[in-house]
Amino acid sequence: MPLSLDTLREKIAHARTTQHYISGDGTSEERKLAHQVTGRTVRLAAVLILLTRENDIANDWQVVLTQRTAHLHDHAGQISFPGGRKDDEDSDLIATALREANEEIGADASKIEVIGALPSYVTVTAYEVTPIVAISVPQPYVCDPFEVADIFHMPLAHVLEEGNWRRDSFMRAGLRREYWAVPFRERYVWGATAGMLRTLKMALTSEKE
């Protein structure tokens, strides 16, 4: 399926109206309720799903991803999008995503066009994360040495190919927990990042699960 810019805009706009995508082991509403039952406050956050391409070939989109540094308290060494918790100074979640992308990878917001947002994803760490989808012309990135160990690109075509996906699991407190994973070369992309990429895949291929 050729993914022109117009197609991306149309698909992302439609995805925002669909709130019940399953990403991982339940919907966001189910995860939010589980946190409320245990008394945990669910905080707002945003990530930037930044798409870029070297030319105007429709199927040449690349997703910008980061690998977190090994010393971080949460999700050390894992693959993630630029993003984080909403600050009081942020006007909205788009501002959060753009600010975090600038802080973490030096992304220049003047070169970025936001095209929409995906349904939110509630994490096990009690964040309601809104994925902001945007495009950018190629630009240089610089790692924040405290948070980001590496920056790399994953072809969007890799995300859209069903054969690259798998369901993995682990045991916690005697229960088996399942999650999405979409390995790419030597990178193991899983958890919330894979869950949001799965939602992006579903949005762009009009799949329902």
Query: Is the pTM for the entire model greater than 0.85?
Result: yes
Residue ranges covered by each domain of the chain: 5-157
pLDDT digits (tens, 9 = 90+) for 13-72: 888 766 545 555 567 777 788 888 888 888 999 999 999 998 776 678 999 999 988 766
* pLDDT the model gives residue 205: 87
Report which residue type is found at 48. Answer: L
pLDDT digits (tens, 9 = 90+) for 84-138: 999 999 999 999 999 999 999 999 999 999 999 998 899 888 899 999 999 999 9
pLDDT digits (tens, 9 = 90+) for 123-176: 888 899 999 999 999 999 999 988 899 999 999 999 999 999 999 887 777 777
Q: Which fold has domain 5-157?
A: Nucleoside Triphosphate Pyrophosphohydrolase (3.90.79)
Mean pLDDT of 175-194: 90
Please identify which residue in the block is written with the tokens 């240089």.
Answer: 140
Q: Which two tokens stand for residue 183?
A: 């390995």
Residue 131 DSSP SS3: strand
* pLDDT the model gives residue 34: 82
Q: DSSP states of 10-74 as a string? A: HHHHHHTT------SSS-HHHHHHHHHHTTPPPEEEEEEEEEE-SSS-TT--EEEEEEE-TT-SS
